[in-house]
Amino acid sequence: DDGERQVDERVAVLEFELRKAQETIKSLRASLTHQAETELSTPERQNKTGLIGEIDETITPVEKKALNFLVNEYLLQADYKVTSVTFAEENEEQDFEDWD
């Protein structure tokens, strides 16, 4: 009975962590979408082509952190665990366990 209870508790914890991760991903996507819409609607950008690849700008640290987080989440969800570990090692300055 204790074994079943422990399994049930572990499942509940994992479900909670999954919900929190999905909420974080949803929040990051909304934030990036809002930022992209805001940037593309400014007058100085309307004169440019509008294609992301053709705008010569550097990525901000917040954008890099968000992209790295989303890429790592994708790798984990797609079951590319070794690739995810390698990616995390190459970006060791970022904590992929916690968005904050």
Q: Torsions phi, psi of 50, nearest 5?
A: 90, -5
Rounded to the nearest angstrom, the gap between the alpha carbon of residue 47 and the centroid of all alpha carbons in its chain is 30
Model confidence pLDDT, tens digit, residues 23-66: 999 999 998 888 888 877 765 555 555 555 555 578 888 888 88
Residue ranges of the alpha helices (H) in the chain? 2-40, 43-46, 61-77, 81-90
Cβ atoms of 44 and 57 closer than 8 Å = no
Q: What percent of the chain has pLDDT over 90?
A: 38
List the single range of 13-17, 33-37, 80-84 with lowest mean pLDDT: 33-37
Range 3-26 average pLDDT: 91
Cβ atoms of 75 and 87 closer than 8 Å = yes
Domain map (residue ranges) of the chain: 1-50, 58-100
* pTM: predicted TM-score of the whole model, two decimal places: 0.44
| All residues at 6 or more sequence positions from 28 whose CB lies less than 8 Å from its CB, including other chains | 66, 69, 70, 99
**Residue 100 is encoded by which pair of tokens?**
């904050």
